[in-house]
Amino acid sequence: MIDLQYLRTMMNTLSPSRTVALTIGDTVLTSAGTLIPLGAQDPQMLIVTGASTRYPYRLQVAISSGMSWRYFLINDGHIIFLIAAIAFMMALLIHQWLRAASSLKNNIMLGLKRNEFEAYYQPVMNVAQGYCSGVEILVRWRHPSDGVISPEVFVPLAETSGLILPLTAHLMAQVAEDLARHWNDDDGTLHVAFNIAAIHLRNEQIVKDCRQFLQKVHPRHILLVLELTERQCIEFNAVTRNVLASLQALGVIIAIDDFGTGYSGLSYLGSMHINLLKIDRSFVAMISKDESTTDLVDVVIDLANRFGMHVIAEGVETEWQKNYLLNKRVVYQQGYLFAEPLPLQAFLSWYRQRYHSRSAAVVALPQLADTGAKQTNALPPG
């Protein structure tokens, strides 16, 4: 960051008959575009150094009379002011970003206290049998002055700051309370998926949150799924393995979300007992009548089958995509083709108008009985 007043003071020592060189660490960048060690420059060069009163950085300018100007230096030194202006703008942008991030973090904490975060339910369809098998819980922030804020704005910051832990706990408690009050026995079986990040697996709090969720919704036909996002790398240490083991002991189903777009890979699939793999919407968007664009989707589906995992495709928006995936035996799909994310009452109305007559014996995500046995409904093979 450059103090322009400080820069102008030093620029007063320059004249068109002098050459400017920039010192970066222990290296000098000359006007000829060459790098030389500090101290090896022309002895006639004058090093002008001053301390900025605003920022903890300093700018060094080396000048020497008798050396020719290069084509990229204007003879009145405007190029240096251009560099300074760019640096100043970058400093301003970074400063504004840091202020915004700090303000956003404080607003997230305040929003949690004020109960401004609301759970939305996006249906996951079993397209082979034509019913809703579950939901993914998505968060919406109803800010009192800014309106509805997209999770893409605040979730990444919540993950890096650690606020994703209380935010997830808040959502799980809210959804458990809602389903305990409004989900009836004749509504059938529903798997409920929450997104978690790598930081959750480094903290036992997620185990407590899941246990409380399952206790709250018991004895309703609710299955709990955790979808692990890939924005952060997972460290497979003793803590992580203990958390995963505790979750699986509760019967929690573990899924990899947005597979192939972040840090995950074959090492994840080999290190964790993964039940589900979600194909990212960016891959689903590649599905078209041009077969050359579907190769990557086919590879992901084949990989999941080889590991014995079920597949959910998200971001399904066209009949062509739905039918293509169904032909590849991807029966679990979600996207705007079926329904957008809905608040609780809208979801219940949408669901019951279509599926209320279905028996509670209808189950979601079959063949997961080995991991879901301790949840309310053990899933039969099928």
Residue 203, pLDDT > 50, answer yes
What pLDDT was estimated at residue 209? Answer: 98
3-state SS record for 137-180: EEEEEEECCCEEECHHHHHHHHHHHCCHHHHHHHHHHHHHHHHH
What pairing do the DSSP bridges indicate for beta strands 117-126 and 310-314? unpaired
Q: What is the DSSP letter of 233?
A: P
Compute the distance between CA of residue 238 and CA of residue 235 in angstroms, rounded to an integer.
9
Comparing CA positions, the residue from 339, 208, 177, 191 lying closest to residue 255 is 191
Write the pLDDT tens digit of every residue in 208-245.
999 999 999 999 899 999 999 876 677 888 999 999 99
Instruction: Provide mean pLDDT across the span 276-288.
Output: 89
Comparing CA positions, the residue from 190, 182, 199 lying closest to residue 225 is 190
Residue whose token pair is 């309310």: 376
Question: Which of 38-42, 113-117, 358-362 has the weakest average pLDDT?
Answer: 358-362
Amino acid at 128: A
Instruction: Provide mean pLDDT across the span 318-346.
Output: 96
Would you mind telling me the total number of residues written for the chain in this entry? 382
CATH topology of domain 115-372: TIM Barrel (3.20.20)
What pLDDT was estimated at residue 265? Answer: 59
What pLDDT was estimated at residue 304? Answer: 86
Instruction: Provide mean pLDDT across the span 46-70.
Output: 44
Q: Based on C-alpha coordinates, what's the Rg of the chain?
A: 29
Question: Which of 120-129, 243-252, 278-287 has the weakest average pLDDT?
Answer: 278-287
Strand partners, 143: 147
Instruction: Provide mean pLDDT across the span 81-109.
Output: 70
pLDDT over 70 for what percent of the chain? 62
Strand partners, 29: 22, 35
Q: Where are the alpha helices (DSSP H) in 76-225?
A: 78-113, 151-161, 164-182, 205-217
What pLDDT was estimated at residue 20? Answer: 52
Q: Give the containing element (helix H, strand E) for 185.
A: none
Angle between helix 78-113 and helix 4-11 axes, rounded to 10 deg? 170
For the record, the structure tokens of 65 come out as 């009379």
What pLDDT was estimated at residue 272? Answer: 76
- Residue boundaries of the structural domains of the chain: 4-93, 115-372
Whole-structure pTM value: 0.70
Instruction: Check if the beta carbon of residue 252 is closer than 8 Å to that of residue 270.
Output: no
Highest mean pLDDT among 19-28, 161-170, 255-264: 161-170
Compute the distance between CA of residue 331 and CA of residue 313 in angstroms, rounded to an integer.
9
Write the pLDDT tens digit of every residue in 359-382.
444 455 654 534 444 554 333 333
Distances (CA, A) of 155 to 117, 140, 196: 12, 10, 11
What pLDDT was estimated at residue 23? Answer: 55
What residues contact 91, with CB distance under 8 A and at least 6 apart?
1, 2, 55
Residue 109, pLDDT > 60, answer yes
pLDDT over 90 for what percent of the chain? 43
Highest mean pLDDT among 29-38, 49-58, 82-91, 294-303: 294-303
Mean pLDDT of the chain: 77
Q: Where are the alpha helices (DSSP H) in the chain?
A: 4-11, 78-113, 151-161, 164-182, 205-217, 238-249, 266-271, 281-284, 295-306, 319-327, 344-355, 369-372
Instruction: Check if the beta carbon of residue 168 is closer than 8 Å to that of residue 155.
Output: no
What pLDDT was estimated at residue 67? Answer: 45
Residue whose token pair is 């979808």: 227
